Amino acid sequence: MSTWLDKVGSDETMTDFTAANVRLWNSPAMAYITVPKTTPVWSIYDAGSFAQTLMLSATNHGLDSMVAYENIKYPDEIRKNLGVSEEEIIVAGIALGYRSENKINNFTNNRLTTEKILTIK
């Protein structure tokens, strides 16, 4: 992630990235996933699986999605404006909307191949 962020920071075509991040990607809708603080710790795994399924379903319906730390960076604001109880952990914030033609949507990074990070025996 740090390599990716360094590349974003050094790419002059990506000057809008940070601003878009702060504006929650200008998305028309946000989905917040929470779990009760009293649930077992493995419930975070379930919340992640739900988030993935939500994003796959959005894609299937022609919407794009973006999960980012910035989307939940200010949990007190989320709680205040959306009525999320202090008894809930805010696990993820997912921006939902239609992809724009903005250059930040075309940024690519050199990733390791699957074979370099996954071994199945």
Tokens at 13, concatenated: 């075509």
Q: Is 118 within the bounds of a domain? A: no
Q: Is 121 within the bounds of a domain? A: no
Report pTM: 0.73
Q: Specify the pLDDT at position 48.
A: 95
Domain, as residue range, for 94: 2-107
Residue 20 banded pLDDT, cuts 50, 70, 90: low
What domain count does the chain have? 1
Q: Specify the pLDDT at position 70.
A: 84
Please state, for a pLDDT cut of 90, what percent of the chain lies above it. Answer: 51
Q: Is 116 within the bounds of a domain? A: no
Q: Specify the pLDDT at position 113.
A: 84
In the 3-class helix/strand/coil scheme, how is 62-99 assigned residue by residue?
A: CCEEEECHHHHCCHHHHHHHHCCCCCEEEEEEEEEECC
Tokens at 50, concatenated: 């739900």
Helix (H) or strand (E) holding 55: helix 43-60
Residue 56 scores a pLDDT above 60: yes
Residue 1 scores a pLDDT above 60: no
Return the CATH number at 12: 3.40.109.10
Q: Is 114 within the bounds of a domain? A: no
